[in-house]
Homo-oligomer: A and B are copies of this chain.
Amino acid sequence: MPRVVDVDERRALLAAAVWRVIHREGLANASVRKVAAEAQVSMGSLRHYFSTQNQLLQFSLQAVGERVTQRLATLDLTGTPRQVAELVALELLPLDADRRAEVEIWIAFSAATLTDPDLRALSDQSHEALHTLLRTLVADLLPPNSPDQDLDLETDRLHALIDGLALHGATTPTQTTPTRLQAALTHHLEHLARS
C-alpha cells in the first residue's frame, strides 16, 4: 500500500497558500509556481493534488465559503432574534485583520466570477446560501406573519448592506473603520426590529 498522507489536509494547506498569494499580490498573480513556492512545495507535488490551475483556484474559492460557514456554525445562537442577527452579521464584517484578508480574497474571486463561468457557479451557490441564512434572521426580526414581499425586500437590503460594508471595510479601511462598520450594521438592525 502507498505512502500515507492526509490528502484533505494537503489540499487545505495549498488553498491557504493560494489565499496568502491572492492577499499579497492579487488573483492575477496566483500562478501555480507562486502558490507552490508559498506552500514550500514543488510544482510537481502541487499538481499531484490539483492537476490544473483552474482546479486549484476553484477549490480555494470553495474553501473560503466553507471557512466562513464553519465560523458561523461555531456561534452561540441562543438569544433574542436581535442578538442572534447581530452576532451573525458582525461575524461577516471585516472587523479584524483576519476577516479583512478574507474579504479581500472574496472580492478578488467576485471579480473573477464575472468572466469565469466555473467560478460563477460556485459563487452563486455561496451567495444563495448566505441569502437564505439572512432571510431566516430577517424573518425572526420582523413582525410574525409578515408578507413574503417584505421578507424578500428586507433580506435584499440587509444582504446588500453587509456586502457593501464588507467591501468598504476592505477597500478603504482607513476611512471605513471597524467602529463605523459596526455602528452602521447595528443601527440597521435596530431599525429593522422596530419597523
A contacts, CB < 8 Å to B = 24-29, 104, 107-108, 110-116, 123-124, 127-128, 131, 152-153, 156-157, 159-165, 167-168, 170-172, 175-176, 180, 183-184, 187-188, 191, 195
Contacts and interface: CB of A to CB of B under 8 A. Distances in A.
Contacts of A114: 26, 104, 107-108, 170-171
5 closest Cβ pairs, A-B complex = A164-B164, A160-B164, A111-B111, A28-B28, A26-B115
Instruction: Indicate the member of A27, A131, A161 with the most B CB atoms within 10 Å.
Output: A161
Count the copies. Answer: 2
A147 to B, nearest CB: 13
A131 B176 CA distance: 11
A134 B62 CA distance: 35
Contacts of A124: 172, 175
Nearest to A30: B28
A110 B107 contact: yes
A165 B123 CA distance: 16
Contacts of A163: 164, 167-168
Given A128-B175, A153-B184, A191-B191, A111 B27 contact: yes
A113 B184 contact: no
Given A26-B111, A164-B165, 17 more contacts: A107-B114, A108-B111, A110-B171, A111-B112, A114-B170, A114-B171, A124-B172, A127-B171, A128-B175, A152-B180, A153-B180, A156-B165, A157-B184, A157-B188, A160-B161, A160-B165, A163-B167
